[in-house]
Structure 1
Amino acid sequence: MEQRTDLLEIIEYINPAELDYQEWVNVGMALKHEGYSVDTWDAWSRNDSRYHAGECGKKWNTFRGSSVPVTAGTIVQMAIDHGWRPSYGGYSLDWDDEISMDGLVIEDAGWVERQEIREPREWDPVTEITRYLETLFEAGENVGYVMGSWKKTDEKGERWLPQKGTWDRTAGQLIELLAKCDGDIGAVLGDYNPEAGAWIRFNPMDGKGCKNENVSEFRYALVESDAMDLEQQNAIIRELELPVACLVFSGKKSLHAIVRVDAADYNEYRKRVD
């Protein structure tokens, strides 16, 4: 049987005073998802000078589950980032380390227990887009996105491709406008063709263009698959325990796992993506 470390021990390695608001909320959501009580979150939160009595309880009651829940893996990754290491005799791999398969046997490479994806009963596009922006971007960072599209026909068939798009507004500006739009996201971002969808760059831009050289931080990479069913993708992404910042359903054949890689430049980014 695998030995697991209790989350009560792990969160002691995380100082709530060093977290931003969303990270603090994520700890609470993960604790609730894993069956802990609000008292655990409240007692840990008291170590932060920003603590206000009763705030944890109010926020806790808003955690009603999600199709992509925040789990114990989020807390584990935070603790690792703050110096915690599991008690078993492993070690963290560096980017250039090689993984040896000596002595290991793959019994069934095709087997994985699928995890169902539950669609929310009610969608709130403003809330979902705002959460996405708050999770991936700092308020002052420029966001590149495309609402317009055009259809290309060639030997590969017909497909929709993005137009030039927008990159001159910050995440903070977009969030502020979305809060005032009364549900009309098109008034903020522009209307899109439902047949084609829309596009967004998950790494921040410099506000001067939409090319690769305009990316200001190589923070995230995309992990996806079009070759397996959604439930299998969901299970594999979660079993790998990748540092997923955001998991998004594309609307068609894949889940988009936006994974933190924190590369210093484009060359290092390509190596980490590979």
Structure 2
Amino acid sequence: MQAVIGLLVMMPGASYGLETYCDGRQDGAQCFGPLGGTVVLQLMDKALQTERYKFDGKFRVNNLSRNDSAEYKFEISDGINIKEKRALRLTIQAPVSSVRLASECLSQGEKRVSCSSGGGDSPQYSWTLDGHSLTDTELLSVNTETNSITLRQHVSGAVACSVENNVSQVSHKEEVSNCGFIFINCSSNGTQISQWVFAANNTLCIEPTTPPTISTVDHSLLVCAVRAALVVFALIGIAVYFAWKNKNCKKAEGSAYRPEREHQDESVVMVEM
């Protein structure tokens, strides 16, 4: 274990930054440590402790630097006989420090979302929408060179980009809305139209469902005017009817009175005779 012990002697002190763990109990183990941080190497089981070496089988290597990336060989013995020979490779990586998102609308209403990270060796990018992996109905394309994705026209929600390597993982989430496009599927002048168009400038297949506001106002005024005219005509008709009825009643009273007087005159003449 001389190589590992020598490494510990060269880098004593407190732990800085991130900390990773590596199981080095198997020969040829691949271990990763964060630059400026700590790696915990599990080299032995507790059951292998002897009276001479009392420890939990773990070694902590602090304040890691680039120069610590190497292959380390060590031996495990009981102080007299060598029990096992082993090797492990330790790779030091700079951790990811930050993640940023940027989005833009494309000409057909798709939305491109780009992800960039600060620092980090060999970063790997992954994406989610509202907490779930993107599906083919939501995702149009992925560009691994620019670390960007292109979302379909109808997609909106919380888009998260996660950046990770073997020693760190950082993610960032932003709300993304669609670009204001709608899908048109109709027939105009015998031509079938099926495409995405910007809703604010759309002039295709527009069928007004309600008349303009001014027409609605005019129609309401016309209805009110007609109703008012009907009421006026009804009142005039009622007045004419009662006037005609009153006149007929007076005529009827006059006709009934005059014959009585003639009869009375004739009676008087008859008496004189």
TM-score normalised by structure 1 residue count:
0.16
Q: Which has the higher Rg, Structure 1 or Structure 2?
A: 2
Structure having the larger proportion of residues in strand: 2
Structure having the larger proportion of residues in helix: 1
Identify which of structures 1 and 2 has the higher relative contact order when contacts are C-alpha pairs closer than 8 Å and 6+ apart: 1
